[in-house]
Amino acid sequence: MSREAGSWTDLATEALARAGFRSGGGRSQVLELLATQGCALTALEIDRRLPGVGRATVYRALDQLESLGLVQRVDLGSDAAGYERLDPEGHHHHHIVCERCGKVVPFEDAALERAIKRVSHQASFDVAEHDVTLRGTCARCSG
């Protein structure tokens, strides 16, 4: 596990404890899995990767983590949502989603981040967070 992932796991564990949630084996496994992922996983993908953890535990853990601002829900289209950990330092990426097969590709773009800051300044908004998801068709599906 990377130093960043371990730090996020510690932060998430502490935040859950402060919020009054008891530590549990299933929730801890969800934390450990999310900590190692570079992009969003659906609840069903998490459930499949953690066969010893009940599906209800996965959904409950994701709801708790989202309510505490520790994970971000990402709309993947076709009524699917992914969840990925939020970096406490604010580092993040965006997503390109294939509308046919559901492939998700993360991307970062410094110019896009500058444009978002410029627009928020022009509109006199203090933007606390943002999420950019581009939708289309991947090369495999379009060819």
Asked if 84 and 34 count as a contact pair (C-beta separation under 8 A), the reply is yes
Q: How far apart are the first and last CA of the chain?
A: 37
Arithmetic mean of pLDDT, 123-143 = 92
pLDDT tens-digit map of 16-55? 999 999 888 999 999 999 999 989 999 999 999 999 999 9
Which domains can be identified in the chain, with CATH numbers?
A: 1-88 (1.10.10.10), 93-143 (3.30.1490.190)
- pLDDT > 90 fraction of the chain, expressed in percent and rounded: 74
pTM of the predicted structure, to 2 decimals: 0.83
DSSP 28-68: HHHHHHHHT-SS-EEHHHHHHH-TTS-HHHHHHHHHHHHHT
How far is 143 from 140, CA to CA, in rounded Å? 6
Which pLDDT score is estimated for 6? 64
Which pLDDT score is estimated for 5? 59
Which pLDDT score is estimated for 105? 93
CA distances from 78 to 44, 59, 98, 135 (A): 14, 19, 10, 11
Asked if 91 and 97 count as a contact pair (C-beta separation under 8 A), the reply is no
User: Is the pLDDT at 89 greater than 90, yes or no?
Assistant: no
In which band, very low, low, confident or very high, does the pLDDT at 82 lie, cut at 50, 70 and 90?
Answer: very high
